[in-house]
Structure 1
Amino acid sequence: MQVGLHPVTPDSFQGVRHAGSLSRAIQTGKVVTLFLGYDLGNSIGPRKEDLMISLFSSLLQGVFLSVGLSGPVDPLDDAVVTPIPDLKIEAVPDSLPQFQQQFSQYTAVFGVHVLATRGVPTEKVRHVAAVLAEYLDNDEDGVADDPRVVEAMAGRQMGMVLFASEREMERLDRSGIDQLGYHHLQGQFAEETKPPGEFDATIEEVLHLVTTGYGEAYPRIFGPRPGTELGECLDRARGGRFGSVPRRYPEKAWFHYDDRSCDYPCMAVEYLYWALTSLLEAQADPERARQISHEWELSSGELVRERDPWITALLEDPKYHWATRLPDGRYGPAQGKTKKPQQDEGESLR
């Protein structure tokens, strides 16, 4: 075991990242003063990790006192170390050579990629990145609301890919990119991104990607498959469990998506989009409600809470940190603050 103590400043990081080794930020008051890093290999789990931290807490307090510092030591104050998203659009970095031929614009939001072709207006690329940042950091304090979700997304190389046309998208070497481990890329077209006077598809497409992240972070809760809590909610909303689109949905169903190319996982992701955005009042306009009624009946938060209390309970449970405000593309984080780590998924199960 290697232990090292290094002085840091409040701007050195916004939290902690787990990537095979553990790093912890220790706070005294509001000032980050010390950084503890140690590597115990891949065998250590979250519970052992916390035990090891507790064993070092008294040592750390002694170190604080020895260098003239005092204050409470809470060794479990942590978050994911990622820079506050600045939404600067730059060239595709050399670390992503497989994307450099087709894409020319790039930014990252908490480690999640946003790529765009040359024909996509820069302001639209920035808008997509801002909406992604708002979904992941809904209180806009510069720290991802749920580090577990961000780690799942960044660790699995998830990202948004923006195209100026459908022809551009068809030229993407999907099989080659998939072989390189990029299994979760959500496509979007420039024309559907913040179009004047029309519904902004960014709200939907970015949320689909975030939902995939939640499914990876909490597979038994938000996994898009039968038997998970999300799956059980989907089955209620569709009036039964259907492996494919039924010829006709039961009368009691309030979600009746009829795209036959959409399988069960696809249906789960679409359903969560409708539920969350309706809770956030994105679909409440009467004309919008009329337009979507063939697919989704619960166009307001009041209707969702009344007819679908099950998905409401999941999406409004504070331990999962789903957005409580609809993203508007204006992300303006304050100074980042550390947050408590999330519970293990098993502890959250009823």
Structure 2
Amino acid sequence: MKYLLFTIAFVLILGCRAETETRIVKELAPPLPPVFPAPLTEINLPSEREKLALINKKITVFGIKVFALEGVSDRDLKLVANVLTQWIDNDENGTPDNPEVLAEIVRQKSRMILGVTFDQIGPWHEKSQKILKDAHAPTYGLDVTTINHNWYGLPLSEYSQSHYHTEGLLPPDAATEETFHLITDIGYANVYPSAFWHGDLGDNPSHALRSYIQKRGKVQKGASLLTVAMDKARGGYFKLMPKEYPDDAWYTRSDDCGYKCFVGEYIHWGIITLVGCNENREKGIYNQWQITNARSLRNRDTELYELLTNTKYNFPKIAPDGSYGPLSQ
């Protein structure tokens, strides 16, 4: 009897100890990353409300809706969805490379709208976007006339702009650009504001960004490591576009689109240079950007190179080719 009581007591002690250790481990362990829906494999029809907003079809990738207006081909909708997904899941293992960044993009209900031309997208933003649920959610527009199908080894569309027919790979590609802007403007700027904030608060800033601004203020100059690097690349801090850039500047965009826009364009130039999209494109980009390969980026724009290659942020390492997993089928 004594032996039985001793055994029961011993088992109870072990059980309590195991439960305590399990609780401690759970408290010390980092939270599990959010679970994201896998990219859909087919084009979907819009909801009734989306139809009222003139949405013709859509694809959802990792919780981000990519809408298309009338006239956009299935091929181009799939292409843009593929490129967006490849930026998010660059190693194509089915999960986002930076779950925190994607979680912020999804939290803000960010999305994309594709139209055939800018003249179609502009009025849509002004009139039809307000019909959608979450009307003020970040909505990035892309007119598919500015997709450079040459980059993806695809035949040009009937609505491709003329210079894509004559200049091949030299002109830029809006599919890689606008999808990446969404990721950096909304995701990286809100998750890592000290590194990537662009100087604009936005409609729904993250707690991290709010806290950061409370500490340092809303001043654009020196807003983040990214803006400091950009100001160096432009030859100084310019709230407005200068009439002329200093001779030692290598980022010399000549059409004024506002400071936040300049920051977004700058990091986009950096990433497409890093992943090899600017090789042999000197003629096509020299009036805006004077670095064409990763080695030159590392040597000439050290600050930007270090941001883009820092494993903490896990930026893409491979250029999207428009053929992510099942979406390319």
Looking at structure 2, the residues matched to 88 and 302 of structure 1 have their Cα atoms a distance apart, in angstroms, of 39
Greater Rg over alpha carbons, structure:
2
CA distance in 2, matches of 1:99, 1:244: 40
Gaps of 5+ in 2: 1-18, 150-155, 157-167, 200-219
RMSD: 2.6
In structure 2, the residue corresponding to 1:177 is in which secondary structure? helix
CA distance in 2, matches of 1:56, 1:249: 64
Alpha-carbon deviation of 1:175?
Answer: 6.5
Q: Deviations over 1:160-210 (max 9, x none)?
A: 110022332133143673694434211111222243344532111111111
- Spell out, residue by residue over 1:200-255, the C-alpha distance to the aligned partner (whole angstroms, 9 max, x if none): 32111111111112112212211112321111011110010000100111111100
| 2:316 alignment partner, one of 310, 317, 323 | 323
Q: Which residue of 2 aligns with 1:136?
A: 88
- Matched residue of 2:112: which SS? strand
Higher strand share: 1
The within-5 A match list for 1:58-207 is: 58=22, 75-76=29-30, 78-93=32-47, 97-98=49-50, 100-174=52-126, 177=129, 180-195=134-149, 196=156, 197-198=168-169, 199-207=172-180
2:188 to 193, 214, 217: 214
1:256 to 240, 252, 262: 252
Native 8 Å contact 1:105 1:116 kept in 2: yes
In structure 2, relative to structure 1, the CA distance for the partners of 1:89 and 1:289 (3 Å cut) is: same
Counterpart code for 1:233: A
Q: 1:307 pairs with 297, 300, 303, which one?
A: 300
1:157–1:181: 8 Å Cα contact kept in structure 2? no
Distance 1:303 1:99, change over 3 A: farther
For the 8 Å contact 1:87–1:130, the answer to whether it is kept is: no
SS at match of 1:115: strand
Using structure 1 for the length normalisation, give the TM-score.
0.69
**1:127, CA displacement in angstroms?**
0.7
From the superposition, tell whether residues 292 and 109 of structure 1 become closer, same or farther in structure 2 (CA, over 3 Å). same
Percent identity reads: 29
Unaligned runs of 5+ in 1: 1-54, 62-71, 334-350
Structure 2 letter corresponding to 1:182: H
Given the superposition, is the C-alpha separation of residues 222 and 87 from structure 1 closer, same or farther in structure 2, using an over 3 Å criterion? farther
Aligned to 2:228: 232
Q: Is the 8 A contact 1:98 1:177 kept in 2?
A: no
1:297 to 272, 282, 290: 290
Tell me: CA distance 1:143–1:100, structure 2 relative to 1, closer, same or farther (3 Å): farther
1:140 deviation in Å? 0.8
- Count how many residue pairs are aligned between Structure 1 and Structure 2: 264
1-structure distance, mates of 2:192, 2:126 = 27
Q: Tell me: CA distance 1:224–1:57, structure 2 relative to 1, closer, same or farther (3 Å).
A: farther
Q: Relative to structure 1, is the Cα distance of residues 59 and 110 closer, same or farther in structure 2, using a 3 angstrom cutoff?
A: same
Gap change, CA 1:178 and 1:257, over 3 Å in 2 = farther
| Counterpart for residue 265 of structure 2 | 270
1:58 is aligned with what amino acid? T
Separation of aligned partners in 1, 2:20 and 2:119: 57
From the two aligned structures, give the one with the greater helix fraction. Answer: 2
The DSSP-based 3-state class of the residue aligned with 1:329 is coil
Quickly say closer, same or farther: Cα 1:100–1:249, change in 2 above 3 A.
Answer: same
